[in-house]
Amino acid sequence: MGDKQKQKLTPEQQQYQQLEQKHEIKRPVVKNCFKAFLVGGLICTIGQAITYFYIYFFHFTEQTAGNPTVATMIFLSMLLTGFGVYDHIGQFAGAGSAVPVTGFGNSVISAAIEHRTEGFVLGVGGNMFKLAGSVILFGVFAAFVVALFKTLLTMMGVL
Amino acid sequence: MLPMFFWAFVVGGLICVFGQLMFDIAKLTPAHTMSLLVVLGALLDGFGLYEPLIDFAGAGATIPITSFGNSLVHGALQEAEQHGLVGVLTGMFEITSSGISAAVIFGFIGALLFKPKG
């Protein structure tokens, strides 16, 4: 809580907040990070195995194999989300299952499944990108700015 | 081949630890964390730093969401080389299309197949 907000509170409220802070359960940061490292690393290792699969059996190159790999990972994440397994992984791993692209897939798919009771058009269609939308928005806008700058600088001969 | 698995594990894991620190220390919501990571990936590619990471760690760099920002910039720049400024718009989703289409398609199939629980 910012200092500005704190000033508005009465002394009793401030006291209560100190009390609350004292009893707040500390997040086990080191343990959480270890779990995130383990699960996130494992997901990426599985991704690496799928990448090699596409390189050896479908003749993708190291550079292009990333695309089918991402699609396959999202497919796997659909199965895990549908059977309710991904939620359990997420509770254990925190960012370890949210940061990989499977977490992106999970947020789209779980939103789609959750809202199907509201119908396919308004429910599934309208809410699918409820969580992932912000990732797409800021990703695209940042990429636009970066690419625009770089192209302009290249055109002006700076780069 | 084996070292590649090792580095994919380590680098991918470290990016996830970075995300976890944003959850726990900076107290950001998952949506804020993901958005920041994507922006970070876009910036890194702008400075030409993400491609070497992919060469080094393979899926450890392509699977975390940062690679989404990276491939958006990459596609935009690729097209911009051929068509100039318009290419920034037309090429944006050139490389990422598989991720977005997979999410849309499998999201819909998932909604058809599975019923919400609880």
- Mean pLDDT on B38-44: 94
Contact assignment for A45 to B42 by CB distance below 8 Å: no
Give the per-residue pLDDT at B19. Answer: 92
**Distance in angstroms (rounded) separating the CA atoms of residues B108 and B90:** 26
Which residue segment(s) compose the domain that A40 sits in? 29-128
pLDDT at A2 over 60: no
Give the per-residue pLDDT at A109. Answer: 92
Residue A159 lies in a domain: yes
**Ramachandran class of A94: left when φ > 0, alpha when ψ lies in -120 to 50, beta otherwise:** left
Residue A143 lies in a domain: yes
Q: How confident is the model at residue A89 (pLDDT cuts 50, 70, 90)?
A: very high
Are A147 and A113 contained in the same domain? no
Residue A23 lies in a domain: no
* Residue A131 phi, psi dihedral angles, 5° rounding: -95, -40
Of A95, A102, A124, nearest to B23 by CB-CB distance is A95
The structural domains of chain B, with segments of one domain joined by +, span 2-113
Residue A88 lies in a domain: yes
* Residue B49 phi, psi dihedral angles, 5° rounding: -100, -15
- Chain A residues close to B109, C-beta within 8 Å: 78
Rounded to the nearest integer, the mean pLDDT of chain A is 88
Residue A93 distance to chain B (closest CA, Å): 9
CB atoms within 10 A of CB A34: 15
Q: pLDDT digit string (tens) for A61-86?
A: 877 888 889 999 999 999 999 998 99
Residue B91 distance to chain A (closest CA, Å): 10
Residue A2 lies in a domain: no
Give the per-residue pLDDT at A27. Answer: 76
- Mean pLDDT on B47-65: 91
Q: Facing residues of A100 across strands?
A: B64
Counted domains in chain A: 2
Identify the residue whose tokens are 């704190």: A6
- Mean pLDDT on A130-144: 92
Give the per-residue pLDDT at A1. Answer: 47
CB-defined contacts A:B, below 8 A: 267
Are A72 and A122 contained in the same domain? yes
Contact assignment for A117 to B107 by CB distance below 8 Å: no
Of B13, B30, B103, nearest to A105 by CB-CB distance is B103
Residue A89 lies in a domain: yes
Among B39, B106, B117, the residue to mutate for chain A (most A Cβ within 10 A): B106
Contact by Cβ (8 Å): A105, A77: yes
Are A45 and A105 contained in the same domain? yes
**Distance in angstroms (rounded) separating the CA atoms of residues B62 and A100:** 9
Give the per-residue pLDDT at B14. Answer: 94
Residue A155 lies in a domain: yes
Q: pLDDT digit string (tens) for A26-73?
A: 778 889 999 999 999 999 999 999 999 999 999 888 778 888 899 999
Residue B60 distance to chain A (closest CA, Å): 5
Are A87 and A151 contained in the same domain? no
Are A41 and A118 contained in the same domain? yes
- Mean pLDDT on A140-152: 93
Are A138 and A115 contained in the same domain? no
Are A100 and A149 contained in the same domain? no
**Distance in angstroms (rounded) separating the CA atoms of residues B118 and B114:** 13
Give the per-residue pLDDT at A5. Answer: 59
Are A40 and A92 contained in the same domain? yes
Give the per-residue pLDDT at A18. Answer: 86
Are A100 and A151 contained in the same domain? no
**Distance in angstroms (rounded) separating the CA atoms of residues A100 and A48:** 13
Locate B101 and state its tokens: 């289409």
Are A55 and A94 contained in the same domain? yes
Residue A14 lies in a domain: no
Q: pLDDT digit string (tens) for B84-117?
A: 888 888 989 988 888 899 999 999 999 999 888 7
Say which DSSP state A54 is in: H
Are A76 and A154 contained in the same domain? no
**Distance in angstroms (rounded) separating the CA atoms of residues A10 and B6:** 55
- Mean pLDDT on A93-117: 91
Q: What ipTM is given for this predicted complex?
A: 0.90
Are A118 and A80 contained in the same domain? yes
- Tell me if chain B has a CB within 8 Å of the CB of A85: no
pLDDT at B54 over 60: yes
